Amino acid sequence: MNDDVVTIKNRLGNRVVIPAHHYELDEVVDMADFLGDSYKLAVDCSKTRAEYIVFGGVSFMAEGAALLAGSDQKVLIPDPQAGCPMAQMITGEGAKAVYETLSARCDRQIIPIVYMNSHADMKAFCGAHDGTVCTSSNASKIVKRFLDEDKSVFFSPDFNLGINTANDLGIPGHEVVTVRRDGTLEGADPSSARIFLWDGFCHVHKTFTLDDISRLRSSHPDIQIIVHPECEEAVVTASDYAGSTAMIYNTVKDAAPGTVWGIGTEYRFVARMANTFSDKTIIPLRESICHDMSRITLEKLTVSLASVESFIKDKGPLIHPVTVPESLKKDAKKALQRMIDIVEAS
Ligand code: SF4
C-alpha cells in the first residue's frame, strides 16, 4: 500500500501536494510534502502552485485551502467525515442571531473574532461584520487591537482559547460574558462587557487536568509543563508555558538537552516529538487523541491520489473534492486578510 502512494505520487510529480497536520497518523505524515498546524498549512497551501492539494487534516483545514486556492487548483480530502467537533459548535447563521442579540444589549460596537478552527460560513460572517480570524499564536494581538479601539469582542468557538487570551490581556472576570450554546448569557453585565465568549471546546485539549500536572511534577521535580491554550484555564495557569502547536514544537526543539517536558496537547504529536528530540525527556500529560484526524489513512490517501490520476487521464471522478460556495468566499477572505494586516502592522 505504501508503494502505491509513493508510485502514484511520483507519477503525478509536482502536480500534486500532500499537506498534513501534526496530529495525523504517522503513515500520513510520512507521505506529506509539508507538515504544520492549521495556520501554517493554510499559508503553505496558499503558496503552492500544485494543481491538486490532497489534504491530510480535518474538513475545516481543507476548506481553508480551498478558500485560498487559485481557480486552476483543486482540493481533495481523503475522508470528508474527518470533521472538527469544535468547529461544528457554531455556524454563521447561529452566530449572526447571537451577534444581533448581543449588539442590542452592549453599549459598544462588538467585533466578531473567530478562531482559525472554524468553517467558511463563520469566517464569512466575521468578514461581513468588520471582524476577523485569529490563531492560537496571535489571538492576544488580535483581541487587544479591538479592545484598544474601545470595542467589545465576540470570540468563538473555543471558550478556553478565549478565556486564556482574556487572562493574558488582564481582562477581569467582571468584564467577560459566557454565551452558552442555547443562547443564555452568564457573567458580566452585557451592556458593559468587553469580551463575549462562545462556550465551544476541543475535547482533545479539555481532557487535561490539574491532577495530570501534579502527578508529573511529583514524579519529575525538574519537569517543565507546556500546554496548548485550548486547555482549561486552570491547567494553563498551572503550567509553565502555553502556546500554539508551533510554539510548543519550537520551545521543545530549542530546549537544552537533558531537560524534561510534560506536554498537554494531542498525543500523536507529543509521541512524535519524543522520538524526534530524543536528547530530552518528553512525557504526555495523558494520551489524548484526535480521532477525527485518525480518519485520514494511507488507504484513503491512495484512493484520493488514484482519483486525481484518473481525472487527469480520462476525466474520471475526483473523489471528495472540497469547495467553498462563491457566496462565502469574498467575506471569508476579507476576515483572513484582516488578520494578516493586523499581525503584520504590529
Ligand atoms: S484536536 Fe480538537 S480542535 Fe483540533 S481537529 Fe481535533 S477536535 Fe478539532
Between 3.30.43.10, 3.40.1160.10, 3.40.50.280, 3.40.50.10800, what CATH number should domain 2-83+292-315 receive?
3.40.50.10800
Domain 208-284: CATH class, spelled out: alpha beta
The answer to whether 226 and 244 have CB atoms below 8 angstroms apart is: no
CA-nearest residue, atom 8 of ligand 1: 84
Q: Where are the domains of the chain?
A: 2-83+292-315, 87-202+332-345, 208-284
Q: What CATH architecture does domain 87-202+332-345 belong to?
A: 3-Layer(aba) Sandwich (3.40)
DSSP state of 294: G
- Is the C-beta atom of 85 inside 6 A of ligand 1? yes
Cα gap 169→229, rounded to integer Å: 14
Q: pLDDT at position 3, please?
A: 56
Cα gap 68→45, rounded to integer Å: 8
The answer to whether 173 and 187 have CB atoms below 8 angstroms apart is: yes
- Is the C-beta atom of 18 inside 6 A of ligand 1? no
Same fold yes or no, 2-83+292-315 and 208-284: yes
CA 118 to ligand 1 center in whole angstroms:
10
> What does 37-87 look like in DSSP terms, one character per residue?
-HHHHHHHHHH---SEEE-BS-HHHHHHHHHH--TT-EEE-S-TT---TTG
Sequential pLDDT tens for the chain (346 residues)? 445 899 999 999 999 999 999 999 999 999 999 999 988 898 899 899 999 999 999 999 999 999 989 999 999 999 999 999 999 999 999 999 999 999 999 999 999 999 999 999 999 999 999 999 999 999 999 999 999 999 999 999 999 999 999 999 999 999 999 999 998 999 999 999 999 999 999 999 999 999 999 999 999 999 999 999 999 999 999 999 999 999 999 999 999 999 999 999 999 999 999 999 999 999 999 999 999 999 999 999 999 999 999 999 989 999 999 999 999 999 999 999 999 889 888 7
CA-nearest residue, atom 3 of ligand 1: 202
Cα gap 6→141, rounded to integer Å: 42
Chain CA centroid to CA 220, Å: 31
- Is the C-beta atom of 167 inside 6 A of ligand 1? no
The owner of cell 473567530 is 114
- Count of beta carbons in the 10 Å neighbourhood of residue 148: 9
